[in-house]
């Protein structure tokens, strides 16, 4: 064994508890960063259940051309999504924060509670 491999194995053995503590974070990283890649890949293929995700024919941007074509509802769906998200942000962040600031500015303690 080379000294590099010996040093690496010694490091692993010496700090095994620290490396075990990293395992949950690595599992979360893999779950939320690498596993969803299959869905992104599927958007660029002519998906066929028999062939699977990575066996289906790659079509590039043809699916997106179809989705945003004149006969499709792609633009309407995109507009509705942005519209709903905009008002969700307004109702979910700006209004509650404004109310919290107004309540915080009340001087009378009994009313504030």
pTM above 0.75, yes or no: no
Q: How far is residue 42's CA from residue 64's CA, in Å, rounded to a whole number?
A: 12
Element (H, E) at 49: none
What pLDDT digit, counting tens, does each position of 8-35 carry? Answer: 889 999 999 999 999 999 999 999 988 8
Which residue has better confidence, 36 or 108?
36
pLDDT at 38: 83
pLDDT at 18: 94
- Angle, helices 3-14/16-29, rounded to nearest 10 degrees: 90
Q: How far is residue 31's CA from residue 24's CA, in Å, rounded to a whole number?
A: 11
What pLDDT digit, counting tens, does each position of 33-90 carry? Answer: 888 888 888 899 999 889 988 889 999 999 999 988 878 888 999 999 999 999 998 8
Secondary structure class of 105 (helix, strand, coil): coil
Give the number of C-alpha atoms closer than 13 A to the C-alpha of residue 53, restricted to the C-beta side.
Answer: 9
């Amino acid at each position: 064994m080379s000294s590099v491999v010996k040093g690496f194995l010694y490091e692993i053995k010496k700090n095994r508890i620290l490396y075990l503590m990293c395992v949950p974070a690595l599992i979360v990283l893999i779950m939320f960063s690498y596993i969803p890649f299959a869905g992104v890949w599927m958007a660029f293929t002519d998906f066929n259940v028999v062939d699977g995700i990575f066996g289906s024919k790659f079509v590039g941007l043809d699916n997106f051309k179809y989705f945003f074509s004149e006969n499709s509802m792609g633009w309407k769906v995109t507009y509705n999504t942005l519209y709903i998200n905009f008002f969700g942000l307004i109702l979910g962040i700006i209004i509650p924060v404004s109310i919290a600031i107004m309540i915080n500015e009340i001087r009378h303690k009994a009313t504030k509670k």
